[in-house]
Structure 1
Amino acid sequence: MVCVIIAAAGQGKRMGSTVNKVLLPLAGKPVLAHTIQAVCQAKAVTSIILTAAAEETEKMSMLLAELNLSIPWQVVPGGSERQYSIANALQALPPSAKIVAVHDGARPLAGPGLFDQVIEAARLYQAAVAAVPVKDTIKITDHSGWVTDTPERSTLWSVQTPQAFDRQLLASAYELAAKEGYLGTDDASLVERLGARVKVVAGSYQNMKLTTPEDLHFAETVLAKRQAAKPVIRAGIGYDVHRLVPERRLILGGVAVPYELGLAGHSDADVLLHAVKDALLGAAGLGDIGKHFPDTDERYKGISSMKLLAEVHKLLNNHGYIVNNIDATIVAQKPKLAAYIAQMNSNIAAALDIDVTQVNVKATTTEGLGFAGQGEGVAAYATATIASVQA
């Protein structure tokens, strides 16, 4: 489990604004909204903690609530220094979090893939940071401004966030810093003081921290180019089968179909929607319904598959995808389903917030062959295409 701490308690005085810079508008929404959505689109991230100035915790909570995130989140009060804010967040970590990543709220251009790469490096090496090679020659000076040394440029990196760490390692680093009254410039510097090695992961020159008004203009340009990019189309397939049994309702595509038998399963066993959800999750590379809604979880016992389809839709949106179309086939000898197909199309379209013309459900028989032909069960196949405009 991976928790990302987003530092957003600063004011950013160099931005020349009376408003917290993470709340300034960027491409139609607050800077912080871009940052949070990038974090949520990372496959490895399972929860978020946002640090905010004490007087802004309510405002920040409202912003996160409006984003309708698919993963747990909380807002904690920050401190007078960034390091103190992160220390507060560490006290609020969920018990299940094994990896902790820290990211600046004012870095809205970090891509989801960068989070996944840094987190994976932290799993392997316990500590990792995003960084880019220094482009300019660096000089070291004395207090009078005289050059005392010129370091070898090939060994120099400009460090960014995200930075990710083994939870216990980061906690120990913060405990030592507090004990010795040490104030570092980033989280990795605290870990380094323990003698731990930190792995560098190649970041992006676009992943800049917004500090001045000029930075904000640069970010606008980058986002405009990303939004103008052609969408990436992805496709997925889904298949599911359930046994027909007595004393169960037959639910297909969210429609209660009159029949003497129903489908056995932990949820409502809507075989059509199960196949559709698997196709959508497969297209996005997000696993399958068993991963997200396991049949060992009592929360999903008897649950409507329409509700779970809406959850899949929310998950896709949080990862930057929209649904293009659904094509599905129900395989059943009985009952006849032609009269219910239109309502199934309508139900699926409504759950995925697409036009009904983008959904095409069909039904067929097997001419008496196999388990479906013998009336022992019902199967469904589905294909789905989704689009992403993420850079």
Structure 2
Amino acid sequence: MSVAALIVAAGRGSRVGEGVPKQYRLLDGQSVLTRTLRVFLAHPHVDRTIVVIHPDDLHLYRASIDGLSPDLLRALLPHALGGEMRQDSVREGVEALTDATPEIVLVHDAARPFVVASLIDRAITAGRRWGAAVPGIVVTDTIKVVGKHGDVVSTPERANLRAIQTPQAFRFGDLLDAHRKAAASGLHSFTDDGALAEWAELPVHVFEGQPDNVKLTDPTDFNEAERRLKGHPMTYVTRLGTGFDVHAFTEGDHIWLGGIKVPHDQGVLAHSDGDVILHAMTDAILGALADGDIGTHFPPSDPQWRGASSDRFLAHAVYLVRKRGGVLDHLDATLLCEKPRLGPHREAMRERIAEITGLRLDQVSLKATTTEKLGFTGRSEGIAAQAAATIRLPEMKV
């Protein structure tokens, strides 16, 4: 399916101070928009890119694309002119894409210049699977809902909160219809397209975002971005971690393996859903990070994790890698049991693990073996899995 990227660059960015709009300010010699555009134009799975600009910024826009190579410019469509509100600008951009008729459109803020190709990959994958998908990162601070006098109204459960980023991915026709319906209803105040899709009653999926995919909003953000770009040269070191998990069988009619519900004549005895494959993978990633184990981050003594879906554990471990500026390269797991058989479910598990972690399918390996009737697995008393994770973490050259 064809993919188009829509870069929203029509805002004024008043919080950053006087001067040119923030998307045209220089970061280490290049404009913010230029840096953002390079990532999308160079991405092998983004077929076309369109930028929505303010009518007063044509000269700034031309200067931002002037230094791009002809190879990159081939994928750049003529710009569109934005409207008064962000929602109006996105609608103008989506309308301008009707001749290109992409299957998937990615909507991204120009002021997020640290977007990376792997995040775009995850957005495309999620958009194709779910139709409407937005990147989100785990909220680490406690959030309070306050009243008009500053009094606390409520404290949402932090585990259920995500900070939403861009690029957001949508089926093109669905997003176009949602924008047209909102405009016809006189609604213009949606600050992101995920919220618009929710209003249009489209199911919206949240996939794993990128912690350093920050939006440049105020002078402090620009200062930090400059330090980041001008810092010490960065190299990456490869780390390998291993994990192992085991659960005893008990009464039941299914077990969870690799994020998939597998019919079985028994269940497993566990505090969470007892998915040995995802547990082993989680511990492998945490081992590569040298950051404890699954019990450290999700203690069984905490009742909130009773019966919890193990995809949350694996997604959190991946988040920790990305929070440290790292890259998850590969996951490999071996299931140890007499039954159930892995084969009929292997590909569904690989796809689910790739979805949870943001990996490509060829970066997820699953195998299975029996123990030749030896030990507790050979006696069908329980099930086990071992896993390995390969990650790269940044190291500063000093």
TM-score, normalised with respect to structure 2: 0.56
State the match for 1:198 in structure 2. Answer: 204
Separation in 2 of the partners of 1:58 and 1:13? 19
State the match for 1:360 in structure 2. Answer: none
Classify 1:45/1:180 alpha carbon distance in 2 versus 1 (closer, same or farther; 3 Å): same
Separation in 1 of the partners of 2:225 and 2:135? 19
Which residues in structure 2 correspond to 1:192-231 (within 5 Å)? 192-225=198-231, 228-230=233-235
Question: Is the 2:109–2:167 contact (alpha carbons within 8 Å) kept by the matching residues of 1?
Answer: yes
Question: Is the 1:129–1:201 contact (alpha carbons within 8 Å) kept by the matching residues of 2?
Answer: yes
Separation in 2 of the partners of 1:58 and 1:19? 11
One-letter amino acid of the structure 2 residue matched with residue 173 of structure 1: A
State the match for 1:30 in structure 2. Answer: 31
State the match for 2:11 in structure 1. Answer: 10
| Secondary structure of residue in 2 paired with 1:172 | helix
Separation in 1 of the partners of 2:77 and 2:235? 32
Residue 141 of structure 1 pairs with residue 130 of structure 2 = no
Residue deviations 1:308-364 (CA, integer Å, cap 9, x gap): xxxxxxxxxxxxxxxxxxxxxxxxxxxxxxxxxxxxxxxxxxxxxxxxxxxxxxxxx
Which residues in structure 2 correspond to 1:1-391 (within 5 Å)? 1-68=2-69, 69=72, 70-93=74-97, 94-182=99-187, 183-225=189-231, 228-230=233-235
Larger Rg: 1
Question: Is the 1:53–1:78 contact (alpha carbons within 8 Å) kept by the matching residues of 2?
Answer: yes
Separation in 2 of the partners of 1:46 and 1:231? 30
State the match for 1:255 in structure 2. Answer: none
Question: Is the 1:43–1:116 contact (alpha carbons within 8 Å) kept by the matching residues of 2?
Answer: no
TM-score, normalised with respect to structure 1: 0.57
Question: Is the 1:131–1:158 contact (alpha carbons within 8 Å) kept by the matching residues of 2?
Answer: yes
| Secondary structure of residue in 2 paired with 1:143 | coil
How many angstroms does 1:90 deviate by?
Answer: 1.1
Residue deviations 1:286-313 (CA, integer Å, cap 9, x gap): xxxxxxxxxxxxxxxxxxxxxxxxxxxx
How many angstroms does 1:223 deviate by?
Answer: 2.7
| Secondary structure of residue in 1 paired with 2:78 | strand
Separation in 1 of the partners of 2:55 and 2:213? 27
| Secondary structure of residue in 2 paired with 1:67 | coil
One-letter amino acid of the structure 2 residue matched with residue 19 of structure 1: V
Separation in 1 of the partners of 2:235 and 2:147? 51
Separation in 1 of the partners of 2:59 and 2:48? 19
Separation in 2 of the partners of 1:231 and 1:160? 25
How many angstroms does 1:230 deviate by?
Answer: 4.2
State the match for 1:332 in structure 2. Answer: none
Question: Is the 1:57–1:75 contact (alpha carbons within 8 Å) kept by the matching residues of 2?
Answer: no
Question: Is the 1:129–1:159 contact (alpha carbons within 8 Å) kept by the matching residues of 2?
Answer: yes
Separation in 2 of the partners of 1:205 and 1:11? 25
Classify 1:31/1:72 alpha carbon distance in 2 versus 1 (closer, same or farther; 3 Å): closer
Separation in 2 of the partners of 1:71 and 1:61? 16
Moved more, 10-19 or 52-61: 52-61
Question: Is the 1:47–1:72 contact (alpha carbons within 8 Å) kept by the matching residues of 2?
Answer: yes
| Secondary structure of residue in 2 paired with 1:109 | coil
Residue deviations 1:106-153 (CA, integer Å, cap 9, x gap): 000111111111111101110111111111111112222211111000
Question: Is the 1:57–1:77 contact (alpha carbons within 8 Å) kept by the matching residues of 2?
Answer: no
How many angstroms does 1:62 deviate by?
Answer: 4.1
Query: What is the aligned-residue RMSD (CA, Å)?
Result: 2.1
Separation in 1 of the partners of 2:92 and 2:64? 20
Separation in 2 of the partners of 1:88 and 1:114? 25
How many angstroms does 1:23 deviate by?
Answer: 1.1
Separation in 2 of the partners of 1:141 and 1:17? 31
Separation in 2 of the partners of 1:130 and 1:156? 12
Report the number of matched residues. Answer: 233
Question: Is the 2:9–2:110 contact (alpha carbons within 8 Å) kept by the matching residues of 1?
Answer: yes
Separation in 2 of the partners of 1:7 and 1:97? 17
Separation in 2 of the partners of 1:62 and 1:73? 16
| Secondary structure of residue in 1 paired with 2:213 | coil
| Secondary structure of residue in 1 paired with 2:166 | strand
Separation in 2 of the partners of 1:111 and 1:89? 22
Question: Is the 2:101–2:172 contact (alpha carbons within 8 Å) kept by the matching residues of 1?
Answer: no
Separation in 2 of the partners of 1:150 and 1:179? 36
One-letter amino acid of the structure 1 residue matched with residue 230 of structure 2: A
> Unaligned stretches of 5+ in structure 2?
238-393
